[in-house]
């Protein structure tokens, strides 16, 4: 995250904000933590939403189980349209369904 911040900024869509928010005792605490990290809110637009739906359908048509939910696809489609890359530990999945999206694994 530090490297990404040094090179530009960090954005996260509403799905990520909701997932992060679940880890905090209050919405205010979650917002303060995201602010302290320098993460800005950036909502999913229509194009990203539809791109996510197409990718999710491809996943399901290929035999994908419900281990992946639409939220994963929304996050990746949002990053593809609004960011230069995606910071995630789950490299294989995103690279398969969003091959044009550079993926950075923070654990590497």
* Residue ranges making up the domain that contains 91: 2-104
Task: Give the count of domains, the chain.
Answer: 1
> 10-14, 37-41, 85-89: lowest mean pLDDT where?
85-89
Question: 62-97 pLDDT, tens per residue?
Answer: 998 776 778 999 999 999 999 989 988 876 778 888
- Predicted TM-score (pTM) of the model is 0.86
State the pLDDT at residue 54: 94
State the pLDDT at residue 76: 95
How many Cα neighbours within 13 Å face the side chain of 64?
A: 18
Q: What is the DSSP string of 27-80?
A: HHHHHHHHHHHTEEE----HHHHHHHHHHHHHHHHTT--TTS-HHHHHHHHHHH
Domain of 58: which CATH number? 3.40.50.1010
């Amino acid at each position: 995250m530090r490297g990404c911040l040094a090179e530009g900024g960090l954005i996260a869509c509403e799905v990520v904000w909701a997932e992060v928010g679940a880890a905090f005792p209050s919405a205010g605490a979650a917002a303060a933590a995201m602010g302290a990290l320098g993460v800005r809110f950036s909502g999913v637009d229509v194009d990203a939403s539809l791109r996510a739906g197409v990718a999710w359908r491809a996943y399901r048509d290929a035999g994908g189980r419900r281990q992946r939910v639409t939220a994963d696809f929304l996050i990746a489609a949002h990053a593809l349209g609004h960011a230069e890359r995606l910071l995630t530990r789950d490299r294989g999945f995103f690279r398969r369904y969003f091959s044009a999206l550079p993926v950075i694994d923070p654990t590497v």
